[in-house]
């Protein structure tokens, strides 16, 4: 009878797995018995263009995924075409989530897109930051902003408390 050799790595891995299994309290996994993990898929795998969604949704549904995730710009595009409902229903897959509809990948649009999400950053641009800095909150490209930190004589900064009434940075 020929004995099978085993490497130290295989032995150590097997030993670690056995130790981990032995450390699990009896009955701990019973809470998961009968539960089914539902996994969705994101449309980014098929591309960034809104028109890529049609193939993505069909594939996600045919592969049995439990949900579909998309981007805001894709939803905006398909809303003008009547929505994604027809495609989602045909694939028997629900839309579970979507990223917010901002374009952070195009450097020319990034500052304006951030301003849509965070109105207090509405006038922050790289040029202004490089030239002389910007105090935040700032409402427009010509607004000097509201200084929150003031330099002191020793070069440190002193926090200047400011109360900004709710809704005034819109």
pLDDT at residue 23, rounded to an integer = 81
157: nearest Cα among 143, 147, 144: 147
Q: Is the peptide bond before 137 cis (omega within 30 degrees of 0)?
A: yes
Neighbours of 112 (CB within 10 A): 13
pLDDT at residue 145, rounded to an integer = 66
Q: Is the pLDDT of residue 102 over 80?
A: no
Q: Is the pLDDT of residue 159 over 60?
A: no
Give the span between the Cα atoms of 161 and 148, in whole angstroms: 7
Beta pairing partners, 154:
none
Mean pLDDT: which of 28-32, 76-80, 95-99, 130-134 is highest? 76-80
Give the span between the Cα atoms of 108 and 144, in whole angstroms: 22
Please give the model's pTM, rounded to 2 decimal places: 0.47
Give the span between the Cα atoms of 78 and 143, in whole angstroms: 37
Mean pLDDT: which of 13-27, 42-56, 125-139, 141-155 is highest? 42-56
Residue in this structure with the two tokens 């809303």, named with its chain if needed: 79
């Amino acid at each position: 009878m020929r004995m099978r050799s085993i490497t130290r790595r295989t032995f150590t891995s097997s030993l670690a797995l056995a130790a981990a299994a032995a450390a699990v309290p009896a009955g701990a996994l019973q809470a998961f018995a009968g539960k089914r993990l539902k996994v969705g898929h994101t449309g980014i795998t098929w591309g960034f263009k809104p028109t890529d969604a049609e193939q993505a949704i069909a594939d996600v549904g045919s592969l049995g995924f439990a949900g579909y995730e998309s981007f805001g710009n894709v939803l905006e595009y398909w809303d003008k075409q009547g929505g994604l409902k027809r495609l989602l229903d045909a694939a028997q897959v629900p839309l579970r989530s979507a990223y917010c509809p901002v374009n952070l990948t195009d450097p020319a649009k990034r500052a304006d897109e951030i301003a849509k999400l965070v109105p207090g950053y509405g006038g922050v641009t790289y040029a202004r930051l490089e030239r002389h800095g910007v105090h935040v909150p700032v409402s427009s490209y010509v607004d000097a902003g509201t200084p929150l930190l003031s330099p002191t004589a020793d070069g440190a900064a002193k926090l200047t408390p400011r109360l900004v009434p709710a809704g005034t940075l819109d």
